[in-house]
Structure 1
Amino acid sequence: MSRMFSRQTATEIEKAAQEFGLEPAALLAIAEIESAGQVFAKVEGRNEPLIRFEGHYFDRRLSGAARDRARAEGLASPNAGAVANPRAQAARWQLLDRAAAIDHQAAYESTSWGLGQVMGAHWQWLGFNDVDALVTEARSGAAGQARLMARYLDKAGLTGALNGHDWEAVGHGYNGPGFRKNGYHLKLSEAYTRQFDGPAPGDRTMTVGSRGELVTELQEALVALGYPMDTDGIYGPGTATAVKRFQADHGLAADGIAGERTQAAIASALPFSGSGMWSKLKVWFAGLVGRA
């Protein structure tokens, strides 16, 4: 199983791979690199796909008064990177909403969506009726995000390279000509190997710097137990503080590291009523600890 995704998300990615004739482990590898294991962001209580708004794309799609307004509001620029994306996904969605108030289609086309960070501008090329149909797919859940990523790889003619493990070709086709600068092809190769080797000993321990869907589930479990924090999938100081508080309250060494004993204690403390999110989390944590 992926060390970043839950079993359910990994299964959805594998199904999308099979639908498009892609090797499941290879698609999981790209999904890990593109998303750092984070599938959703909480936006006003909703699970939404991760997005990135590109102000230079937006600028190209506007003209006249609309472009002037967007530039004046700091939403558009002819220069790539001039419009900064906030770190928090909720703030990015607010940025997108402001852009959509000027031109809905242009704003959604200027945004990359979901696990594979597929640009909305590709909607027609990818066979959607309009950009809203592409966005609906991305917002439909992990399965929709995975299908969108697989559809892009298929349409871009990268199936052979992906299934043949030609990571340089995949890196060039998916990440762009500058893929070597950030070692994209090397990261892909390492992520692919992990799908078979599994996490190294201790990899299921979560600590400051850990990221991904499993961190989100840890955060949601702690929130359910009365330890508030952001459920953003990033194990930062706030999460470490909450873990320390939980550990101190349950007679554990308060080191802020969610190792096997801490995860087992969280599983034991979670309420179980036979249904509901927290019951599912209890089952998940118990299974995680059992596999460690």
Structure 2
Amino acid sequence: MSGKKDDKKATSSGKSTSSKSGDTGSKKKELASGLEKLPKKAYEAELERLQAELVEMQAWLKETGNRLVVVFEGRDAAGKGSAIKRITQYLNPRFARVVALPAPTEVHKTQWYFQRYIEHLPAAGEIVIFDRSWYNRAGVERVMGFCTTDEYRRFLHQAPIFERLLVEDGIMLRKYWFSVSDEEQERRFRSRHDDPVRRWKLSPMDLESINRWEAYSRAKDEMFIHTDIPEAPWYTVESEDKKRSRINVISHLLSTVPWEKLEPPTFEIPERPEGASYERPPREEFKYVPDVASELL
């Protein structure tokens, strides 16, 4: 594992610790990290190409009966959700599921910690993406005090064992950590707050993560020490630029699954029969949705 520390803290002046161009009049759009933003056309073209490959990978998984689990973790507003949307956008939903579990119930709290995650593991030919996962215990539960120290330590001991069992049984397991700076996270929080269709994404728990930034950093570092194992390593996704992170994580996922392109099935679309005797009833007999769209013309 690299010793480079991610999720950098901004300086007291509010500027990123990374270099930033001072030429505000430049045609090239730069992030606080100094990275140039991807051109929209280049991004969309590459995303479309990668999404087509994801469809081909899914066809291979279905044909071979392989199983794939992808874990997405990271700070709040790090870009996990938008990356998952791009991955699943064109996949067959019958064989690709996103699991985003709510807080555990009182019954769940009496079970073995991993029990409620096991029931969501894939069957043959399926892809399961965890939008947050069993690593809640090493992150939010640890930082917010929702678990005891003994429960936390037990998790760090059992998680590698649990994941080795999954891999040993033939499940392909990929784990991604989305890394974002505190400056960019705050900017995204404010953007969500001002957007009525995305305000639901904000919660008191999200905002508390600002106050506990360093505690989350220490928890993440400790989690990596214990769970970055050869059988299921962690891969960090730099997510200051969401477009870059989407391209990078999809490309990496495709490169780590040994899929092969299969010849798609061919179908012969029949000609519509002539001389059908069916006559549609008068439109007046049915209730139609009003054509409010015509008001936009």
TM-score (normalised: structure 1): 0.25
Greater gyration radius:
2
Q: Which has the higher helix share?
A: 1
Question: Which has the bigger relative contact order, CA under 8 A and spacing at least 6?
Answer: 2
TM-score (normalised: structure 2): 0.25
